[in-house]
Amino acid sequence: MPDKLLADGQEKDDKFQTLLNNTNVARIISSTVEGTIGPRGLDIMMVDRFGDVVVTNDGVTILRYMDVSHPVAHMIINAARAQQAEAGDGTTTATIIASALVAEGAAQVLKGVPVTRVIEGINRGIETARQKIAASSLEIECLDDQRLVDIAVIAGRGQQDLAGLVVEGARLVGRDKLLDPDFKLADAVIAREGTQNQVFRGVLINKQTLNKEMPSSLEQAIVLAIDDALQPEDLNREAMKTEAGFQYYLQARQQYEDNLNRLLELGVNLIAVDRSIDAIAEEIFTEAGIMVIQRVSSREMDRLCQHTGAKKIKANALNRPAQVLKKYLGYAERVKVDEKLKHTCIYGGKAQNLATLIVGASTGEVVDERERMAKDAAASLQAALQGGIVPGGGALEIWLAGELEELAREDGDMSSYGVLAVREALIKPFTCMVSNSGFNPLEKLGNIIAAQKKKGKNSISFDADSGELIDVMEHGIFDPTPVKLHALKTAGEVATSILRINTVIKMKNDEADPDNIDMME
């Protein structure tokens, strides 16, 4: 429909201008993180309006803190977040591939290839590449496999201490727990300033006891988890003014105190509360030597229950008989409050075998970054155990690029241009990594392609320090298969979604007015 029918104040881009604009945005987003990829990648400093600083080379962290307004930028950033949530790593790779797919796909469209055929080819190329990745995957069967250490070192950006901490924690949890899709080892990682790395069987609550008079350590803890505030029933002032209302208040308060004393009879000596507790409960528990921790986060409460076997209960359910309440109690061998670090550790729960990995940091500025590196290492190790490993260092992507080139040549139709777009996008992270290492990307790419064909291996790449060609499998350079598979899937989905955008219309108002919408035929 002609642009003149648009309401005053609206703006509309034609399809080629839209394509060019979206491609430029994708390139800008990609260029932001390209310098961070690989063992020689550098960091980015991000500063907010208050002067707070974040220094990192973690892709999803950079993208999350970026101040962007373009919808395509948000689409790519959301894709990186999805990659982080699903695979725990590979966000930079997914971002670079997605942006390269948009750029290569747009280039084919501008040459005259129909966008639908380009998208068809991209989907075919992505699916073929994912099938070949899965076929190349090697299984890891036990936690003593040295390749898990190698995976943790690479994902932890070469930090040997973090890799050792993660591997120790994984072995403490056990293979069966790591294979549970609902369990995430990365959730067990916590960074603290002014302490040493440590790992223990148990969980951590980032709170201290309610007051200093309560015990700071316990043996044979009987645990109660209250998913509520702990206080007597609250009556409004009008009800308190009547005799019946006042009597009801006295009865409710007495019932409340009886409930608290019933907990003492059950031997409860550790109480974790989701919200706060009132002065009556604090006084009774303090005199009885019971450890109380209030305002515990829901995630920490869940981990406490999983480890100790406690079941969360509401405050109004405490008036149940003692035999019923026993079913809600958990057990831990030992509880210790660390007054320096201001947290509480619960050791040796009777239920699930959980571990906590405390990452030490010398200063507050590096706490978050150390935690991110350890979480990446934990996520990659678990992904490798669950889904296997493939050659890293860009070797597999270069081999896949050759396979897709053959596929495009065999097909010969217009969708082959989309397959070639995937071919070019797969190589993009490798060329960035080579540049970050100080070498010529085209030279290394040509050498590696020739070496892979000559030796018939998909594991030939280069050493980031010396620049020499190596077999990455022999040098312990691997990537988790699930990370690769999901990065390709995520990149393909967001790229094709962007390429499908035919026109962008900027509305005059936030609310859409049906009378002012250009109805596209």
| pLDDT of 241 above 70 | no
CA gap 150, 140 in Å, rounded? 12
Average pLDDT over residues 40-48: 85
Average pLDDT over residues 140-159: 92
| pLDDT of 490 above 80 | yes
**Out of 67-81, 115-129, 240-254, 271-285, which region has the weakest mean confidence (pLDDT)?**
240-254
Q: How many CB atoms lie within 10 A of CB 64?
A: 15
pLDDT-derived band of residue 240, with 50, 70 and 90 as boundaries? low
Average pLDDT over residues 494-512: 77
pLDDT-derived band of residue 508, with 50, 70 and 90 as boundaries? low
| pLDDT of 123 above 50 | yes
The burial of 35, by beta-carbon neighbours within 10 Å (0-12 exposed, 13-18 middle, 19 or more buried), is given as: middle
Q: What percent of the chain has pLDDT over 90?
A: 63
Per-residue pLDDT tens over the stretch 403-431: 999 999 887 789 999 999 999 999 999 99
502 versus 269: the higher-pLDDT residue is 269
| pLDDT of 14 above 70 | no
- Report which DSSP code applies to 115: H
| Token code pair at residue 515 | 């009378």
CA gap 289, 215 in Å, rounded? 6
Domain ranges, ordered by start, for the chain: 11-138+390-506, 199-361
Residue 10 confidence (pLDDT): 47
| pLDDT of 493 above 70 | yes
pLDDT-derived band of residue 259, with 50, 70 and 90 as boundaries? confident
CA gap 329, 268 in Å, rounded? 8
Judge contact between 72 and 498, C-beta under 8 A. Answer: yes
Residue 460 confidence (pLDDT): 95
pLDDT-derived band of residue 519, with 50, 70 and 90 as boundaries? very low
Domain 199-361: which CATH class?
alpha beta
CATH classification for the domain delimited by 11-138+390-506, as one of 1.10.560.10, 1.10.10.10, 3.40.50.9100, 3.40.50.1370: 1.10.560.10
Q: What percent of the chain has pLDDT over 70?
A: 91
The burial of 510, by beta-carbon neighbours within 10 Å (0-12 exposed, 13-18 middle, 19 or more buried), is given as: exposed
pLDDT-derived band of residue 43, with 50, 70 and 90 as boundaries? confident
**Out of 84-88, 189-193, 442-446, 494-498, which region has the weakest mean confidence (pLDDT)?**
84-88
Average pLDDT over residues 293-313: 94
| pLDDT of 512 above 70 | no
206 three-class SS: coil
Residue 236 confidence (pLDDT): 58
- Highest-confidence segment of 82-91, 237-246, 510-519: 82-91
Judge contact between 62 and 36, C-beta under 8 A. Answer: yes
Segment holding 247, helix H or strand E? helix 243-265
pLDDT-derived band of residue 3, with 50, 70 and 90 as boundaries? very low
Average pLDDT over residues 221-232: 90
Average pLDDT value over all residues in the chain: 88
| pLDDT of 517 above 70 | no
